[in-house]
């Protein structure tokens, strides 16, 4: 099982990224994680999480139950997390995988080089700004550089944009990236699996990301599956 790269940028939908990390760790993956400065703004705004990019600690992003109980700012995350069903839960406390964090300005990180082998990269959520920079080949931070590397090495690069409506510039960037080999997987949950909650919607998108990474999961009921999952 090769290491995976996950990058978080400043688009709305921080919970997609937090849940994706929980699932990847729960399935025993080693995740190279990098986070943009704008992503920290969104993490705090949407989930109450305060992530210090210079002094990163995994519990800032994936607080354990004791952290959630103590900090009133994390009540929303606590509520959201408890809504993921037990069967599907992969809380960080019990997970088998590990996070290797790299500052987004650190071009010395292994993931900045094509010689560092990975099983693929996901940018979740992916801002229009980062998407445009990758489409332009700018490589101005580690996130953009690692994405550039995955494209040039012809490895899996999954972008999870969140924006609406989309301008023709943004659509053009997505088309360009798709033609260059990236998978554009918008944070655009389906409704055919009869979602009952925000968690069902989140797990639909996270499950589709896992599908494209080749990771088996039971995050949602697939079209054509019977109730017993056959």
Ligand X SMILES: Cc1cc2nc3c(=O)[nH]c(=O)nc-3n(C[C@H](O)[C@H](O)[C@H](O)COP(=O)(O)O)c2cc1C
Give the footprint of ligand X on this chain (CB under 6 A).
Answer: 9-12, 36, 38-39, 41-42, 45, 127-130, 162-163
Q: Which residue is it, tokens 């071009």?
A: 107
Instruction: Kindly tell me which of 163 and 211 has the beta carbon lying closer to ligand X.
Output: 163
Q: How far apart are CA 110 and CA 117, in angstroms?
A: 9
Name 123's bridge partners.
7, 159
Q: Which helix (H) or strand (E) holds 39?
A: helix 37-47
Instruction: Kindly tell me which of 44 and 71 has the beta carbon lying closer to ligand X.
Output: 44
Instruction: Kindly tell me which of 5 and 97 has the beta carbon lying closer to ligand X.
Output: 5
Instruction: Kindly tell me which of 164 and 196 has the beta carbon lying closer to ligand X.
Output: 164
CA-to-CA separations, 165 to 71, 128, 208, in angstroms, rounded? 36, 12, 22
- Point out the residue whose Cβ comes nearest to ligand X: 10
Q: Which residue is it, tokens 């599908």?
A: 211
| Minimum CB–partner distance for residue 36 and ligand X (Å) | 3
| Minimum CB–partner distance for residue 229 and ligand X (Å) | 33
| Minimum CB–partner distance for residue 221 and ligand X (Å) | 28
Instruction: Kindly tell me which of 13 and 63 has the beta carbon lying closer to ligand X.
Output: 13
Residue 4 DSSP SS3: strand
CA 80 to chain centre: 17
| Minimum CB–partner distance for residue 30 and ligand X (Å) | 24
The strand ranges marked E within the chain are: 4-8, 30-35, 98-101, 121-126, 157-161, 183-184
| Minimum CB–partner distance for residue 223 and ligand X (Å) | 27
| Minimum CB–partner distance for residue 181 and ligand X (Å) | 20
Instruction: Kindly tell me which of 95 and 127 has the beta carbon lying closer to ligand X.
Output: 127
CB 39 within 8 A of CB 130: no
Tally the residues of the chain: 230
Please enumerate in sequence order all residues whose Cβ is within 8 A of that of 224, keeping only pairs 6 or more positions apart, or say none: none
């Amino acid at each position: 099982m090769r290491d995976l790269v996950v990058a978080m940028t400043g688009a709305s939908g921080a919970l997609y990224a937090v849940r994706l990390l929980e699932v990847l760790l729960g399935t025993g993956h080693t995740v190279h994680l990098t986070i943009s400065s704008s992503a920290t703004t969104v993490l705090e705004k949407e989930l109450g999480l305060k992530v210090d990019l210079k002094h990163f600690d995994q519990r800032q992003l994936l607080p354990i139950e004791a952290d959630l109980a103590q900090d009133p700012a994390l009540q929303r995350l606590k509520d959201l997390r408890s809504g993921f069903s037990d069967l599907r839960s992969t809380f960080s406390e019990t997970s088998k995988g590990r996070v290797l964090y790299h500052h987004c300005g650190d071009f010395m990180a292994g993931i900045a080089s094509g010689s560092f082998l990975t099983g693929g990269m996901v940018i979740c959520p992916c801002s229009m700004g980062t998407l445009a920079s990758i489409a332009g080949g700018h490589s101005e931070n580690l996130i953009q550089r690692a994405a550039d590397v995955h494209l040039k090495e012809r490895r899996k690069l999954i972008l999870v944009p969140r924006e609406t409506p989309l301008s023709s510039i943004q659509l053009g960037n997505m088309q360009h990236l798709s033609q260059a080999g990236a998978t554009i997987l918008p944070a655009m949950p389906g409704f055919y699996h009869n979602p009952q909650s925000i968690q069902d919607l989140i797990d639909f998108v996270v499950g589709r990301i896992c599908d494209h990474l080749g990771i088996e999961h039971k995050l949602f009921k697939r079209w054509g599956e019977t109730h017993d999952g056959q």
